[in-house]
Amino acid sequence: MPRYNAPFEIHVHGDVPLRDDVSFEQLQDALKPLWKYAGARSLADGATSSYEEEPGIKLDKTDHVLHMCWTVPGDDDFRQALDEMCMSLNDLALQGAPIEVTFYDADFDEDDEEGEEGEESRDDFMMLFVGPTPAAIMQVQRDLLVQDVVNMMERHFDGAELGGVVTEIDKLFAQRFDALANSLELGKPPRGASGGGSHGGGRRPRHLH
């Protein structure tokens, strides 16, 4: 149902490459947490953004890419919808991809300097990552971090001088991936063991952010 007087305008932005065999029905089911949150009955009904100038949620059938530039009114409970969406998109993604989510304080008046009684804006920003494997997710995380660090440091150093910095970032991600791989291995039952019961550590993480 429509959310009147919602405290936030929430903007979701990202491009997710999908496998060639992903059907529209699969995508609609994966994105159900979003369009259902918007009070729609289908992806086609809920794909339109709150702002006409934004393209909303669209599937490029030629390149098999999900494009999202979509705004919806909502509250902090939207984060649960994002968690569910990321879990589902992991199974459809061809490679790792970032998704930016911005919470704009709908009640904050920028013209009122500090707002009533010195209140500050409740704006918030989060970066989510989806991908077919933990390695794919970590790869796109690594690429974004390298880009950010290099862009910042190039204000003071020549790009050719930053190879050591990139190497150290790669070492950190290698350590993180090894730790994750070891935890997954520990969660597996011994070879030849019969099924039954549950074991921890073997489940793929939803997403890293």
With tokens 């794909």, the residue in question is 47
- Residue 1 lies inside a defined structural domain of this protein: no
Last residue of a domain, one of 132, 157, 182: 132
Q: What is the pLDDT of residue 207?
A: 40
Same domain for 155 and 118 = no
Residue 2 in any domain: the answer is no
- Total tally of structural domains belonging to the chain: 2
Summarised one tens digit per residue, pLDDT across range 132-153 is 999 999 999 999 999 999 999 9
**Predicted confidence band of residue 205 (pLDDT cuts 50, 70, 90):** very low
Enter the pTM of the model. Answer: 0.77
State which of 132, 154, 172 marks the end of a domain. 132
Q: How confident is the model at residue 181 (pLDDT cuts 50, 70, 90)?
A: confident
Query: Is residue 176 predicted with pLDDT exceeding 60?
Result: yes
Q: Are residues 202 and 180 in the same domain?
A: yes
Residue 116 pLDDT grade (very low, low, confident, very high; cuts 50, 70, 90): low
For residue 138, how many C-alpha atoms fall within 13 Å in the half-sphere facing its CB? 18
What is the per-residue pLDDT for 196?
41
pLDDT of residue 124: 94
Which one of 86, 117, 132 terminates a domain?
132
Q: Could you tell me the residue range of the domain that residue 192 belongs to?
A: 133-209
Pick from 137, 138, 201, 206: nearest CA to 175: 138
The CA-based dihedral angle spanning residues 72, 73, 78, 84, taken in that order and rounded to the nearest 10 degrees: -20
